[in-house]
Every structure is written in structure tokens, then in C-alpha cells.
């Protein structure tokens, strides 16, 4: 004896409804959307996608910018990984920088945001000082950090000298360059 079919065994496929034409106001809204997002899309292409594709193409070629590029495939990657000792050193330095810089940045950012949210006397001045690096030129900030980390006349070593501590070479010393970069990123 055959079993009767249930409604769940046979489900009808619903046809898709015909695509509705957009009204004049909806078409105008759609054009406005594309117009307003186009600067971001163009920036994404010009400053992100095109440089990434160009970098990939350059990495697969032997090219000195004076002669035409010669396709060598993955040979450049093989050379970097197997024959260049600085490749592994750069990966190590990048990993160490990330391990220290990211957690310290998150912790300091959280603490600063909590501090900026408090009702403390002089908060306007503190907020101004805190925001100042965002409006100052990158070159000026670099010169300031060079002055702070200068081993002979730098601000940091001068302060350490008041306590009888001989300061390190900071960014000029290979042992202290990475900690200096982590401090600057904070």
C-alpha cells in the first residue's frame, strides 16, 4: 500500500514576481546615491585596488624602471624567502612591532577615552593637547620626535640625565629602534 503524499513533500516553486519599474523619485534617489558614493569608489580604485594590482604585477617581473619589465613569475618570491636574510628579519620586526604596538595602542586609547569623558578641571586644554597631533603636519611631528629621541640633546635623555640615568641611542641604536617606534606609534 502506498503512503499518501503530505504537503511538505510537494512544495510548489513560486515564480519570481516581475521586476517592478522604479518610480521617478526612486530613480532620482538611486542616481543621487551613485553620485554621492562615486568619490569613495574612485578613491578605492585609484588609491587601493590599482596600486595593489600594480604591486602584484611588478613583483612578478624583473624591472629596474630603466629597461622594459621581464616576466619572471615567482622567482622574486623564491629569492626573497630562500636567499635574502633580511626578509625573515623584517618579518620578525613587523611581528614584534604588531605584538607590542596593537595591544598598547588599544589599552592607551581606552584609558584616554575614559579620561576624556571625565569632568576634570582643565579638560578643554587636555582635549586640545590630545588633538593637536592630528592637525599638525607630519613633517613637524617627525622633527619633534627626532628632537625627543636625539641621544645627545634629546628631551627624553635630558630628563633621564636629571635622574642619573644614561639614556640609550633610541632611534639611532638598533637595539632601541623598535621600542622607539612603538612609543612613537602610541
Q: pLDDT (tens digit, 9 = 90+) per residue, 77-127?
A: 999 999 998 999 999 999 999 999 999 999 998 998 888 888 888 888 888
* Residue-level pLDDT at 4: 58
Residue-wise pLDDT for 136-180, tens only, equals: 888 888 888 999 999 988 999 999 999 999 989 998 899 999 999
pTM tops 0.75, yes or no = no
pLDDT of the residue at 2: 56
pLDDT, residue 67, reads 93
pLDDT score of 149? 92
Domains and their CATH numbers in the chain: 25-83 (no CATH), 85-186 (1.10.3720.10)
DSSP labels, the chain: -PPPPPTTTS-PPPPPPPPPPPPHHHHHHHHHHHHHHHHHHHHHIIIIIHHHHHHHHHHTEE--SSS--EE-TTHHHHHHHHH-HHHHHHHHHHHHHHHHHHHHHHHHHHHHHHHHTS--TTHHHHHHHHHHHHHS-HHHHHHHHHHHT-TTT-HHHHHHHHTT-----GGGSHHHHHHHHHHHH-
Amino acid at each position: 500500500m502506498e503512503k499518501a503524499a503530505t504537503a511538505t513533500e510537494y512544495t510548489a516553486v513560486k515564480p519570481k514576481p516581475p521586476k517592478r519599474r522604479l518610480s521617478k523619485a526612486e530613480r532620482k534617489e538611486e542616481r543621487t546615491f551613485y553620485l554621492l558614493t562615486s568619490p569613495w569608489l574612485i578613491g578605492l580604485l585609484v588609491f587601493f585596488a590599482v596600486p595593489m594590482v600594480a604591486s602584484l604585477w611588478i613583483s612578478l617581473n624583473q624591472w629596474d624602471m630603466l629597461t622594459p619589465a621581464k616576466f619572471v613569475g615567482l622567482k622574486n618570491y623564491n629569492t626573497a624567502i630562500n636567499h635574502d636574510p633580511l626578509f625573515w628579519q623584517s618579518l620578525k620586526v613587523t611581528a614584534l612591532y604588531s605584538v607590542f604596538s596593537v595591544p598598547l595602542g588599544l589599552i592607551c586609547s581606552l584609558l584616554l577615552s575614559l579620561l576624556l569623558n571625565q569632568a576634570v578641571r582643565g579638560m578643554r586644554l587636555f582635549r586640545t593637547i590630545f588633538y593637536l597631533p592630528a592637525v599638525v603636519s607630519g613633517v613637524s611631528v617627525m622633527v619633534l620626535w627626532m628632537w625627543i629621541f636625539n641621544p645627545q640633546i634629546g628631551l627624553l635623555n635630558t630628563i633621564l640625565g636629571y635622574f642619573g640615568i644614561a639614556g640609550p641611542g633610541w632611534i639611532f641604536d638598533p637595539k632601541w629602534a623598535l621600542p622607539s617606534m612603538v612609543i612613537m606609534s602610541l
